[in-house]
A and B are shown apart, each in its own frame.
Chain A
Amino acid sequence: MSGVDSTASSARPEDLRGYHDDVLRRIGAVDRSLHQVEAAVAAYEASCAEVPLALPSPAAVTEPLGDLRALARRVAEVAEAFLLADRSPTGGMAWSTDGAVARVILDRFPQLANTTVLGAVADELAIEVAEGIERAATDGASGLADLRASVPARLASDPVFARAVMARVDHRLAATVDRLALDARPGYPSADLRWLGSLFARGAAGADGRPTDATRRLLGDAPGRTAVRILRRSSRAHLPVLAVEAIARAALRHPSKEDRSHLFLIDEDGRDTGDDAIFLDAAEHPGLALRLLTGRDPDRPSRPQVERLVADSAGESQVGLAALLRSARRAPQRYVDGALSRSGLALQFGTVAGLASLPQRRRRTSVPDRPLVLAALSLVLDHPDLAAADTRGSDAEVTGRTPVEDLTGFFEHAARDKVTWAVALEGASRRRLAATTKAILDHDEDELDLVGRFDAVVARAARRADAPDRVLDPVIHAAADAGADRLEGRYGPLAGGAAALVLQAGGDRLGDAVAEDPGTAQEQLEAGGSAEADRILAVVDALPGEVVWRGSGVGGRAELVAAARDADGHRVLLQWERAQSPEVRKVLTNLEAAYRRGFEAVARMPSGG
């Protein structure tokens, strides 16, 4: 960026003005033609509607015109700058130095201020800005407003300038950002923070897109990482993907809460939002999101990595993590030849296990938990068979939990929120119908075994989610026991025993009073359609020539669907089944048997809930 300030600089200001005038005159002519085109297009659309045309977007013309108009204006400003630098042009020629012209531009023509034009002057300003930022670490924001005013916006958004400032300010940036963030309302960046955030975004990466040494140094310690989190929270300017990756990897190795977080990054619910902005940056690149969640090596993806990340997200806002999961779901690398790749598998099973190990006590899966559960649910519902097949094995020796427990715990989170649960049940029903149809057409009953397993897990999760939380029971009972012990000490074992009974009964009543109401997950599950209804509908769809409607109680498929949802739906389905031929009834019996095998295999497993 540095240049020689005394380099000769010259121009004929009249020629530069002439350029401006001629270009703007010709642009005026183009504008007039453009208006005629717009009128002609409107007339054509009104009177030739049956022969539409693919016409160029007006922006294809207006954008280059706008750019050229801006260039002409800047060139006219250069003419003025030369005349201010050399007030006595000789024979129409203005002579000066680059430095003198640059200073005039910095003072008078901020739109023209960029590192190419300013050269060494920009270098000097970068040093001043860096020193000002360092001073703000001790003085607070008092001097930063003046500093901001001294840097033209055009120059501040010049990556070369931003890099020069960032290289000089180094680790003192962290102290300044910390100070400014403490002065700001948490989550609401001040003008100073937004300015620094923008400067950081422009200067965090080199021309090759890789993070600069200054950025790497910042990411090397907790205060630096926290500063980066605050700066990314304070700016919407995009970073090159390599810089995004470096920052996100640092955040994965050292999560915000491990870096002692920052008051500015704690939301109103007391959750740490520190890594949200960083993960949201990364979520713009699906391939990167998948790599961040499952590891760099697609041949040896890490399931524990994503599991740990999800499991450790309690107490965090989870907004960024949910975005990362949604993004990874879209990554092409999630599949190989149409099947889930190793990374895709690690993502799915790691997410399920991670979510299963999050605390279950909270009744309501509200924002911001809901996005995380929904993102994870989408992954599972993309491949419910895989999740169900996993329940056949057991790797409890490794994880301490069986796959059934993981999947049940996972669905328990979904069951605690009506919206999420509705999505889960809709997905389960869709899968059940498809699998049953396939089982009929392909005589492949293995699919139904998996569907049965899946449904058994879903039912178990609903049961557990509906059980009222009785988190205070141990406390109440301990208090009752302590009270009885005190009476026993004072009045003997008989009084203590009698008192224990009274206190225990009171404790139970108190426990009932403070326990939450039972949930509605099972109710929703029952209202959302049954395996029996889906089985019959699949038969109707797969064997349309063999089913009979006469005497079945319903006139057709639509009526059957509606009737099956009624309170006495089971009776309608039974009547329909009785009206069928022995062959169709046998198909239904076989389907039910296959489904039952899967369902009961899981239902028989001991429940750890």
Chain B
Amino acid sequence: MTTIPPAVDGAAVVVFDPATAGALATAYDQLARDLDQLRIVESTTFDHACEQWRGRTAVWAARQRPDLVAHLQRAARLCEEAALAARAAVGRAAEAQLARNAAATVVRQQAEARAELGQARVT
């Protein structure tokens, strides 16, 4: 599991809470599951209703469904992708913190080098 490194001296902390990102991923996963469940229940009960359903009303209802089912399926996939993105956000936060740490380290090292050089000139 990715962890976010602590900020080194001189580096700003990346504002990020892994637990909140995890909760978001979980919420999206649950929504995706519920959407899939809805789609399955809808299909099953519609098929059951159609066993004895004849006439124009049955034709009309059957025509409404393909688009609807496709939209539900797409919504569930979007939620799954959102859950993945929320989980990947921890890695992005870690990378951002590492980059800030590296930049701060370079600045500190340059300052130290300048200080050493100044010291050497004095002595």
Contacts and interface: CB of A to CB of B under 8 A. Distances in A.
Contact of B56 (A9, A29, A74): A9
B78 A22 contact: no
Contact of B79 (A26, A56, A63, A118): A56
A27 B51 CA distance: 23
Interface residues of A, number: 58
A495 interface: no
Contact of A10 (B54, B61, B74, B96): B54
Interface string B54-75: 1111111101110010011011
Nearest to B38: A26
Nearest to A47: B17
A593 to B, nearest CB: 58
A15 B53 contact: yes
B54 A61 contact: no
A51 B93 contact: yes
Contacts of B89: 48, 51, 53
Decide if the interface of chain B is mainly helix, strand, loop or mixed: helix
A112 B61 CA distance: 10
Nearest to B74: A60
Contacts of B15: 47-50
B52 A11 contact: yes
A19 B49 contact: yes
A358 to B, nearest CB: 51
Interface string A61-76: 1011001100100110
Contacts of B72: 64, 68
A23 B41 CA distance: 7
A55 interface: yes
Contact of B55 (A7, A16, A41): A7
A71 B67 CA distance: 12
Contacts of B49: 11-12, 15-16, 18-19, 75
A12 B55 contact: no
Given A44-B21, A56-B82, A61-B79, A78 B31 contact: no
B24 A33 contact: no
Given A15-B52, A71-B64, A26 B37 contact: yes
Contact of B75 (A50, A64, A75, A96): A64
Contact of A15 (B26, B34, B48): B48
Nearest to B54: A10
A127 to B, nearest CB: 19
A64 B71 contact: yes
Nearest to A94: B52
B56 A102 contact: yes
A26 B52 contact: no
Contacts of A64: 68, 71-72, 74-75
B7 interface: no
A119 B37 CA distance: 35
Contact of A68 (B31, B59, B68, B93): B68
B30 interface: yes
Contact of B61 (A3, A37, A63, A74): A74
A119 B74 CA distance: 33
Contacts of B71: 63-64, 67
A34 B23 contact: no
Most buried by B among A27, A54, A75: A75
B37 A56 contact: no
Most buried by A among B15, B28, B35, B53: B53
A527 interface: no
13 contacts: A16-B53, A19-B42, A19-B45, A29-B38, A43-B20, A48-B89, A53-B24, A53-B86, A60-B74, A61-B75, A67-B71, A78-B61, A118-B56
Closest 5 CB pairs of A and B: A9-B55, A64-B71, A56-B78, A40-B27, A47-B17
Interface of B: 14-17, 20-21, 23-24, 26-28, 30-31, 34-35, 37-38, 41-42, 45-46, 48-49, 51-61, 63-65, 68, 71-72, 74-75, 78-79, 81-82, 85-86, 89, 92-93, 96
Given A30-B38, A37-B28, A71-B64, 12 more contacts: A12-B49, A15-B52, A29-B34, A30-B35, A33-B34, A47-B15, A50-B16, A51-B92, A64-B71, A67-B68, A71-B68, A116-B56
Interface of A: 3, 7-12, 15-16, 18-19, 22-23, 26-27, 29-30, 33-34, 36-37, 39-41, 43-44, 47-51, 53-56, 60-61, 63-64, 67-68, 71, 74-75, 78, 81, 93, 96, 98, 101-102, 105, 112, 114, 116-119
